[in-house]
Amino acid sequence: MPELPEVEVSRMGITPHILQQTVTKVNIHNPNMRWPVPDEVYQIANLPVLAVGRRAKYLLLECKLGSVILHLGMSGNLRVVEQGEPLKKHDHIEFIFDNSKVLRLNDPRRFGCCLWQAFGECHSLFSKLGPEPLTDKFTAKRVYEQSRNKKLPVKQFIMDNAVVVGVGNIYANESLFKAGIHPQREAGKISLVRYQQLVSIIKDTLAAAIIQGGTTLKDFAQSDGKPGYFAQELLVYGRKGEPCMVCKKALTEIRLGQRSTVYCSQCQK
C-alpha cells in the first residue's frame, strides 16, 4: 500500500498541472470503489481547484464548494495525461481540466476511494485522526502521554492513526530500527527520552522519503510514471534473514497485527 511519502509525492506531482485550473468535466467510469463514488463529486465540475491538500493518506482537490477526497488504496495511482490519451485498463475516474490536462485515478483492486467533503464540514474519515507527523503537533510529550498504561506493542501503537497519521508498516519498521527499539516492547513501558528520539527519527525518515521520491512499491508509480527510489536505503524492511547493517546479525521477521515486522534482535531492545 502506498504510504504517506508516496501520497505526498503524488500530491506534489499533480499540483503544478491542476492547481488553479478549472475542472471542465468529471468522468466516473466505475463508481464501485471501496465505497460507491457519490454523485456529489460532480460538484467540482466548472470550478477551479484552489488547493491540492493531503490529510493522512488522503488527497483533497479543494474548491469553493468543498473537496474531492481521493485515496490510492492498495495499488492505485494518479496520472496526469493529455486530453485525448486513451484510457488504460482500471482507469476508473478522471477529471478533465481547461488546460487540456486530465487527472486519472487508476486502481486495479478498487480499494481506493473518491468521496466528497462539503465546505466547512469534516468527513467522518477524518474525525478521529491524530496529528500529521511532519507538523509541530506531533510531539514526544503527546505520544508519551498517550502511551501510558498501553500494553500494545510499540510498532502497532505508532501505526495507530489516532496517535499519528501516516506511519505505515515500512516506515514504522525503519524508524524503530534507527531508534534501537524492539517492535514488541509495550508502548507504555517506553520512556519519554526514548519517545523523543523516536519521534525525531520518524519525522526525519518520512521527510527523507518524500525528498527522495517515495518508496518503490511494485504497484506504485508517481504521476509522471517514474518509480520512487527510497527503497534502496531501507535498512530492515523486506530484508528478513539478511545481515543487520550495524551488527551483521541476521534480521528477524515476525508478524505484528498481521503485518510483516523485521528487526535486529541485537540492536533493538
In this prediction, what percent of the chain has a pLDDT beyond 70?
Answer: 93
In the predicted structure, residue 76 carries a pLDDT above the cut 90: no
Give the relative orientation of helices 4-18 and 192-212 as an angle to the nearest 10 degrees: 40
* Mean pLDDT, rounded, for 101-126: 95
Are 105 and 82 found together in one domain?
yes
pLDDT in tens, 212-252: 775 443 434 455 555 454 555 789 999 999 999 999 999 99
Q: What is the largest CA-CA distance in the chain?
A: 59
For residue 92, is pLDDT > 60? yes
Q: What ranges make up the beta strands (E) of the chain?
A: 23-28, 51-55, 58-63, 66-71, 77-82, 91-97, 101-106, 113-118, 252-256, 259-263
The arithmetic mean of pLDDT across residues 184-199, rounded, is: 98
67 and 153 fall within a common domain: no
On whether both 113 and 194 belong to a single domain, the answer is: no
More confidently predicted of 221 and 259: 259
Q: Read off the DSSP letter of residue 33.
A: S
Q: How confident is the model at residue 155 (pLDDT cuts 50, 70, 90)?
A: very high
Which CATH number belongs to the domain containing residue 115 in this structure?
Answer: 3.20.190.10
Mean confidence (pLDDT) of the chain:
92
d(CA 232, CA 216): 8
Region 143-166: what's the mean pLDDT?
Answer: 97
Given 3, 6, 62, 174, the catalytic residue: 3
Supply the range of the domain harboring residue 24: 4-126
Q: What is the pLDDT of residue 230?
A: 53
Which is the catalytic residue, given 34, 110, 194, 259? Answer: 259
Q: Is 57 a catalytic residue?
A: yes
Give 240's contacts (C-beta < 8 A, 6+ positions apart). Answer: 251, 252, 253, 260, 262
Give domain status of residue 106, yes or no.
yes
Cell of 72: 490510492
How far apart are the C-alpha atoms of 172 and 198, rounded to whole Å?
A: 10
Pairing of strands 58-63, 252-256: unpaired
Any idea which of 4-13, 126-135, 178-187, 218-227 has the lowest mean pLDDT?
A: 218-227
Same structural domain, 120 and 154? no
Domain presence at residue 22: yes
Which residue among 54, 55, 57, 104 is the active-site one? 57
- Across the range 245-265, mean pLDDT stands at 96
pLDDT at position 67, please?
A: 98
pLDDT at 53 over 90: yes
Query: Residue 74 above 90 pLDDT?
Result: no
Q: What is the mean pLDDT of residues 117-146?
A: 97
144 in the same domain as 102: no
Catalytic site includes residue 3: yes
Residue 31 is predicted with a pLDDT of 96
Domain tally, the chain: 2
Give residue 218's pLDDT: 43
Catalytic residue check, 31? no
6 catalytic? Reply is: no
Same domain, 22 and 91: yes
How remote is the C-alpha of 118 from its chain's centroid? 23
Q: How confident is the model at residue 33 (pLDDT cuts 50, 70, 90)?
A: very high
